[in-house]
Amino acid sequence: MPTAPEPPPPLGGIGDESAAPIARAPGPGITNAFGEPLEAPPSVDDDDLENVPVAPKGHELDPYVPIGTRLGSFILFTEAEIGTILTDNVLGTRIPRSDYAFEFAPNVRLESNWARHFFSAEFDADRSWYKNFPVEDDKTYLALLKGRLDVTRRTHLELELGKSQTQEGRNSISLTDIAGVQTNVQEEHITAGADHTFNRLTLEVEGEVARYDYSDVGAIGVLDPTINRIIPQQDIRDYREDELSMRGTYELQPDLAVFVDGEISERSTSSRSASAGLRGIRTASRFCQA
């Protein structure tokens, strides 16, 4: 015989208060556990922490940040800033001199999108042209090549090659930078590093060799009697710097670690000048722990 049909679900009211409540459809926007829209941002005291809004992405905070263009297994980021510089004291002197300049600052960065290893190439520059005082023109750039080789999950090798040009401004100790054209400083460096993790202990070592070359401005020089010739004034400021650093980190807890690191650096001049007395090697060391 057919079974009797089941009674319909309770409609609510007197006598069926023990019935299970009907779930409410979530409303628009951020809601709580009962499907009701929140009138204020949720706090850590709220029961439903899954609906806490996440922070916006970087390109949403700044709409001009490049989001990248995919080129095979690489992503290309391009950016350029074009503007005008207006100043009422271009030379920074007691008698102000006003001037204006057109400025162009491009930036190009190429990064790999690999699951293992990493490669990056970047070029950044800043160029300006002043109308009345071209000695204040900006002529700086930076070129970098970076690479990381993931030997294993715990062992990594890194290499960086860089070349840049900066300028010494009016606050330089050099008289030629205060009274004449700014001196361009060419910098070249190579950096190599390695790190390995032994369970909770991580060891890192990094070495860098950098060379700084000050461009010669004008015919000003210093007589070196040892070689009987004039050395350009900026050449006596050229130097090379070598650095070697090591660091050991021990993880006590996921959010607590102690480390010990040390560094040895050596700076040597690349020119001889008996008049300036710049000849020799200076060595420095640093050690710290925390």
pLDDT of residue 98 exceeding 80, the answer is: yes
pLDDT of residue 192 exceeding 70, the answer is: yes
- The predicted pLDDT at position 157 comes to 96
pLDDT of residue 123 exceeding 50, the answer is: yes
Mean pLDDT of the chain: 76
pLDDT of residue 169 exceeding 60, the answer is: yes
Encoded tokens for 226 = 């040892």
- The predicted pLDDT at position 82 comes to 94
Average of per-residue pLDDT across 29-47: 56
* Residue bearing the bigger pLDDT, 139 or 24: 139
Q: What is the DSSP letter of 67?
A: -
Residue 15 region by backbone torsions, left for phi larger than 0, else alpha for psi between -120 and 50, else beta:
left
- The predicted pLDDT at position 183 comes to 80
- 206, 191 Cβ separation under 8 angstroms: yes
pLDDT of residue 277 exceeding 60, the answer is: no
Could you read off the pLDDT of 154-166 as tens digits, one per residue? 999 999 999 999 8
Whole-angstrom distance, CA of residue 273 vs CA of residue 190:
28
pLDDT of residue 239 exceeding 60, the answer is: yes
Q: Quote the pTM value.
A: 0.65
- 174, 183 Cβ separation under 8 angstroms: yes
pLDDT band at 65 (very low <50, low <70, confident <90, very high): confident
Per this entry, what is the length of the chain? 290
* Residue bearing the bigger pLDDT, 74 or 282: 74
Residue 65 has a CB neighbour count (10 Å cut-off) of 13
Question: Alpha helix (H) ranges present in the chain?
Answer: 58-61, 175-179
pLDDT of residue 38 exceeding 70, the answer is: no
The partner residues of 227 in beta bridges, in order of sequence, read: none
* Residue bearing the bigger pLDDT, 281 or 191: 191
pLDDT of residue 25 exceeding 80, the answer is: no
Could you read off the pLDDT of 244-256 as tens digits, one per residue? 999 999 999 888 9
Whole-angstrom distance, CA of residue 19 vs CA of residue 255:
48
